[in-house]
Structure 1
């Protein structure tokens, strides 16, 4: 991520390249690259007509290359963003729009000095076997915006907070990351809202984070499962009813409950076999932080308890999909049934 921030800094200083390839799925960084390029070009000329956006789902790359090779009508420099650049991936798209990748390959050999092309490919990976992709990666300034690591996310949020004149404790930062699924884009958006809330005191508190940052459905289900495991009937049903009032689908709630109990079981079994957190994350192919939370939870319960809860949920799912029971009532029945189970 440090490389990306350095590349953005160069853009802001006007050190521009004729072609950029922005690859990866971190939306916030894509937006920052886009904004930095736009602001830099805009500061050097008055005409916004030279800033263009094309989407390859709607426009042929042939037309984009033609535009890049055409002189600006009022002079200056063109900035051309090419969104949904799926031609560099193995992605199959059903579209009437036809593309000629060889035009891109030829353009990259001798790009126009009055145009800056920015290919935005918000995908997990490119197809490096393709000739056009090889040409792009060889000729363009590649800006890798893959999702940031926990450390990079924390460092970015901390620095952003300090540069904006705000303070946030380590505990508050961890809570913010936890509630935003450790996703940089989500965390940055929530932090901006918190800064508006704390415009006077400049202190981002744990209390305001819990008050203003919404929990995701997955986080609410995690808390629901915890209450169920503790056999706290009243609080379990209250949270479940809250989710229903928020128009959450009971079938989706049940599916997430099953998924989380399955994860707890898998983590417990692997831990008892001697595997460490990093090993478990690799075996299950999930984020290490999810494993960390699962380890903290599963240690408090017997494997038989987790297995029984999982079996009850699987049975409830079958009853619902068979059309035998009401989905809303079945989850409440599971909560009551599990709470009376003797270990």
Structure 2
């Protein structure tokens, strides 16, 4: 079998549905992602009656793994063995031949899940020539998530605009497990719809903690103090400490002030409505404005998030931000020195920012 990367992984699923399995699958990449991808093949076969045994090489030895492969199946002719931490096998080249012998029977299939694996290893060669090699780390960051989304949406019969996909990614952050869970929620919510809209994403996605750093500020500037208080209650109810929320707001307005500085003299970038064009120009503007080092608050800020929040900068005068930071200082004092009830203190701050928005 060839290398199955990216969208080609779909072919492995189709083959599994037709009971055509490779003797050895070698998944290489993020542990969560390898487990999820291998699990999709395994679940197809389990629904057909196959028995799957799951082991971790930090808990069993290579000798025990071989015993597992040669032992007779109890519940049918087809047996699957899924092995996590398979990179440990790279240290045991002398014990590999006994592992490969049972794979020729056609009744046992080995799934190796590794974060990395040497290309000169016999297992890698076997997977490349006679099994299935599935590298999952060819793309990094958002490109990897976008490719995964495109594959899942196509497989499930859905479509989604690029801007909606970017919005979804800006909410879920960079943790693969959270990305996968939230994508499943969106697909389930969409039901029989063919096109997934922004409203579907907003209805069910739980933002990653770091994305609240702009959602709370966005809500305040766009929908006003009352809507911001609603989101604040949600944060407080789920146990977020008031001082953490304060830090979130401080970072939000620091970031917005930095963006105001970045867009100064770049009116065309500020008014750009096409995200693809904005993304390219924005990256260049960051490098030109801070050639030595981009401020950390902007360095990891998703481009689509910057594209969204820039709308708050239209018509704001330079005097807005100093006044906001005065209000943030008063909020800090209210919480730390005066021990004011958090909701009351934050709501007073929200009302002040709302007034400043009208003034400036």
TM-score by length of 1: 0.66
Which among 251, 257, 281 is matched to residue 259 of structure 1?
A: 251
Superposed CA RMSD: 4.4
Number of residue equivalences: 308
1:5 to 4, 10, 15: 10
Q: How does 1:160-171 map to 2 (within 5 A)?
A: 160-162=155-157, 170=161
| Residue aligning to 1:94 | none
Q: 2:218 & 2:352 partners in 1: Cα distance?
A: 16
Q: Flag structure 2 segments of 5+ consecutive residues without an equivalent.
A: 1-5, 174-178, 267-279, 288-293
Residues 232 and 339, structure 1, Cα contact 8 Å, conserved in 2:
yes
Do the aligned partners of residues 266 and 38 (structure 1) sit closer, same or farther apart at CA in structure 2, a change above 3 Å counting? same
Q: Within 2, Cα distance between the matches of 1:138 and 1:315?
A: 65
1:111 match: 100
Mapping 1:1-343, distance limit 5 Å: 1-13=6-18, 14-24=20-30, 27=33, 30-40=35-45, 43=48, 48=51, 51-56=52-57, 59-62=59-62, 64-72=64-72, 76-83=77-84, 85=85, 88=87, 102-103=91-92, 106-107=95-96, 111-114=100-103, 115-121=108-114, 126=116, 135=121, 140=127, 141-146=132-137, 149=143, 151-153=146-148, 155-162=150-157, 170=161, 174=165, 177=168, 181=172, 183=179, 185-195=181-191, 198=192, 202=193, 206=197, 209=200, 212-216=203-207, 222-229=214-221, 232-272=224-264, 276-279=281-284, 283=294, 284-299=299-314, 301-302=316-317, 304-306=319-321, 308-310=323-325, 312-313=327-328, 316-317=331-332, 320=335, 325-326=339-340, 328=342, 329-341=344-356, 343=360
Distance 1:226 1:307 in 2: 18
Rounded to whole Å, the distance in 2 between the matches of 1:104 and 1:324 is 66
1:222/1:260 contact within 8 Å kept = yes
Change (3 A) 1:10 1:296: farther
What is the TM-score of this pair, normalised by structure 2? Answer: 0.64
CA apart distance, 1:205 = 7.0
Q: Any stretches of 5+ residues in structure 1 without a counterpart?
A: 89-98
Structure 2 Cα separation of the partners of residues 154 and 41 of structure 1: 25
**Deviation of the 1:52 alpha carbon:** 0.5
Cα offset, 1:53, TM superposition: 0.7
**Superposition deviation, residue 18 in structure 1:** 1.8
Measure, in 2, the Cα distance between the counterparts of 1:330 and 1:234. 13
Deviations 1:101-139 (A, max 9, x none): 633663179623334332334xxx64x7xxx68636555
SS in 2 for 1:111: helix
SS across alignment from 1:52: strand
Show CA shifts across 1:168-216 (max 9, x none).
Answer: 6749955983685384542233212331xx5xxx466759727842452
